Chain A
Amino acid sequence: MKTDELIAVLAAATKLQAPVARMMALPLFGTVSLSVVSFAFFWGVRSDLLAALGSMAALKTLVPLVLGALAAALALALAHPTRVANGPASALGIVIALSALAFLLALGREGLAGLPGALSTPELLTCLLSIPALAAPLLGVALWGLSAGASLRPWLTGAMAGLAAGGLAAALYSLYCNMDMALFVLPAYGMAIGSVMIAGALSGARLLKW
């Protein structure tokens, strides 16, 4: 086929796909609802939730939520060539840096020897399994939606989608989890969210190619 003929075909195809964000909105809302309902069903909130949310432990919910929202904005921008999202990108960097700093401070206070003690609890496995389980459907829908975009860096877009799904799942899980020590929360949540992020990067590299 000649290129001029191809142009004639393309020009006749005036049906335009919906914007990525609009296309994703409803399925994503459905999946979030599904995650919330299955969380309520299989996990349930901790008994002292109100007291916890009034204390520093509220950060356990807030920080992953902010992290997830920023990563979601970034992933969506990355699916659109030339769209810049410097605001969310730097905010994301700051939140991650502050979390790392908080971890180092907690480590400095309790000493390196406190870390194995804080992490040697069956809660660690629950955390490392629950967050990815809650995140998986979200990540799946996010990658499906983003594949309608045009990501120039598929693995990075996938990683951001993973961070968004992992952050949201962690925020949800934190309502169940009654471990509030910084030396547990920061490394455990970090590892759990990180694993979803890695899964997102690996699958994004394949699924977001075009």
Chain B
Amino acid sequence: MRAANRGDAVAYRRVLTAITPVLRKVVRARGAGLGLEGCEDVLQDVLLAIHSKRHTWAEDAPLRPWLYAIARHKVIDAFRARGRRVELSIDDFAEGLAAEAGPDPTEGRDMEKVLGQLDPRAAEIVRGFGLHGETTAETAARLDMSEGAVRVALHRALKSIAKLRERMIE
């Protein structure tokens, strides 16, 4: 995480990938009523919060308590807000029946809605990194922007996404 906060994208990706299964387990254990997709949305909220607040972690402090504090805050927040629209699907009652191949359990729904509200170019940049696994240089070349401009645009897009999601769950 120390390297990540100094701009090492590979290290950062490793940190996020390592903590995601743990966080997913926590979210699913608490949010059985939300369904897998709902839980994945909460998990994505937590990841976005960790990302946008990572400058509040001090390099000389242990990382785990900080991560836990952020995740706990966000999970409680998300469940409180979503509590009113807990969804029950037929699957909840069909336990033990042969399950049909459901949707991908790591697919969130909220993100698509939010990307739809973003300005198209910003959404395009986010999708470029997410769906196509582009690098900053590739995105810059495709959209005819400088790499610095892509970085700034991505930073801003993630800020707007966090804000929009916050508004969505209120």
Contacts and interface: CB of A to CB of B under 8 A. Distances in A.
Given A1-B112, A10-B48, A79 B56 contact: yes
Contact of A150 (B20, B65, B70, B104): B70
A50 to B, nearest CB: 43
A210 B40 CA distance: 19
A80 B16 CA distance: 20
B102 interface: no
Contact of A80 (B58, B108, B154): B58
B13 A3 contact: no
Given A83-B58, A150-B56, A11 B16 contact: yes
Contact of B70 (A9, A10, A81): A81
A19 to B, nearest CB: 6
A16 to B, nearest CB: 6
Interface in B11-27: 12-13, 16-17, 20, 24
A148 B143 CA distance: 30
B55 A17 contact: yes
Most A-side CB within 10 Å, residue of B6, B13, B49: B13
A182 interface: no
B130 A9 contact: yes
A8 interface: yes
A24 to B, nearest CB: 13
Interface in A129-166: 148-150, 152
Interface of A: 1-20, 79-83, 148-150, 152, 209-210
B54 A12 contact: no
Contact of B107 (A1, A9, A152, A210): A1
Interface in B119-147: 126, 129-131, 133, 135-136
Interface in B44-75: 44, 47-49, 51-58, 61-62, 65-66, 69-70, 73
B117 interface: no
Nearest to A10: B51
B22 to A, nearest CB: 13
Contacts of A15: 151-152, 154-155
A170 B162 CA distance: 38
B166 interface: yes
A13 B55 contact: no
30 contacts: A2-B104, A2-B108, A4-B17, A7-B17, A7-B20, A8-B130, A9-B130, A11-B10, A12-B136, A12-B154, A13-B155, A14-B7, A14-B12, A15-B151, A15-B154, A15-B155, A16-B54, A80-B57, A81-B57, A81-B65, A81-B69, A82-B61, A82-B62, A82-B65, A82-B66, A82-B69, A149-B56, A150-B56, A152-B69, A209-B166
